[in-house]
Amino acid sequence: MSNIPVNCFLLRYNEIGTKGKNRWQFEQKLLNNISRQLTNRSEFNYYRDQGRFALKKRDNSFFSPKEIKIASEALDRTFGLESYAPGIITDPDADTILELIAKHFETAYQIGKNQLLPLQDYTFRVRCRRSWKKFPYTSKEMEMEIAEKILPNHDDLKVNLKKAHLTVGVEIRPDIAFVHFQDHKGLGGLPVGSSAPVLCLLSGGIDSPVAAFKAMQRGSHVNSITFESFPYTQPELIDKVAKLQTILDKFQDHPAKFYACNMAESQKMIRDDCSERFRTILYRRIMMRVSTVVAEHLKTKALLTGEAVGQVASQTLANMDTINRATNTLVLRPLVCMDKNEVIAIAEKAGTFDVSNIQCSDSCTTFAPGKPATNGNPRLLEDQERRYNANDAIIDCLKNTRLIDTQSLEETPVPELIEIYEKKFKNEWFGTD
């Protein structure tokens, strides 16, 4: 509703409000993230007010249409916000509030009406929140006053208190009143960076970017690693996954560290020395172990995948258990019981869906078995790993793991991964020589 003037955005959180003595830390993280989303623009100012935040211009002037767009897009990318409302700060006087609503309601009414479907009822409601108890009207009385001001001139409007096309919102405090005609739903959850970081096994598909998005919603900063098998996979795969990471970074408190591992040689070992039906599970166990070493390098306590029960052969419960046992690091699977349509809806919301749909083969398709095992068990897979020397395969993968700049695609070797593996994980996974 860009035709209605805006001199303040009212920002609301939900889950942060359940925190105890450390709530201020979550609030500060949320404010820091909003500031980053606004690229630290000096003309904006933020302050706390009764379990909410307000975003204003430092000189208290009205936002330009361009500034409204910039602020709205930034808030749409900020986890931790339950909702936000662009509106007008005015004096906490009943007549002033009613006059302001009458002045701008027609604009809001017409914008909402243009968005209706044919034969659809046009519904509205009034929501008043009064924290200043000396105000001459109660919240309900003020809602009635506003409705009586609106309804006589708009007989097509029908009241719907639960879900309305148009909401007139008013908040009344001792020093100000805030009036708005539109609420925007936020991303909810917790501010990114308020929980421990995770390392996502990021493929070029639909699911793993959504898993990363969901982890961000729980406050985790998400770094990522992808696996490729050049020359058996296309070189464009790295560019595709880097684009996905760039999209995801728009929601983060700072850009992720993005790693890529070429596992072609280890896959050739598996192809030559192991049973065909176990190939995919063996690939996944290597991925888990390489990711565990990278997570240790980053001092990250959990891995993150986009797996869901029964989605593909490697994601039966038995196979997921067998893959899990390749590492003692916690593995998070946010999508494990989600329907595919739910995942697609989140991918579209996050902006990753179109890039994920670009056709590009990934590592799991390299030498893919015709009839993959669906009921693997750890003992069988450990026997398979002895056949092809999994230790050598892990070392080769770590040597071929690079830190990737998501913009330039410049690669930087990470030689310290070998040392971390040999000091901490080699004996744990494969015993002494």
Residue list, annotated binding site for ATP: 201-202, 226-227, 284, 306, 315
Q: What is the SS3 string spanning 102-171? A: HHHHHHHHHHHHHCCCCCCCEEEEEEEEECCCCCCCCHHHHHHHHHHHHHHHCCCEEECCCCCCEEEEEE
Eight-state DSSP code of residue 17: G
Q: Which residue has the tokens 């509205």?
A: 124
**CA atoms of 235 and 221, how far apart (whole Å):** 27
Element (H, E) at 215: helix 207-217
Quickly count helices (H) and strands (E) in the chain.
15, 16
The amino acid sitting at 36 is R
Which residues lie across from 178 on neighbouring strands? 89, 171
Each residue of 349-375: b (16+ CB within 10 Å) or e?
ebbbbebbeeebbbbbebbeeeebbbe
Rounded to whole angstroms, the Cα distance separating 287 from 289 reads 5
Helix or strand (DSSP H, E) at 56: strand 52-57
- DSSP state for residue 314 in the 8-state scheme: G
**Bridge partners, 53 (sequence order):** 11, 48
β-partners of residue 185 are: 83
Q: Distance between CA 321 and CA 303 in Å, rounded?
A: 15
Residues in the annotated binding site: 201-202, 226-227, 284, 306, 315
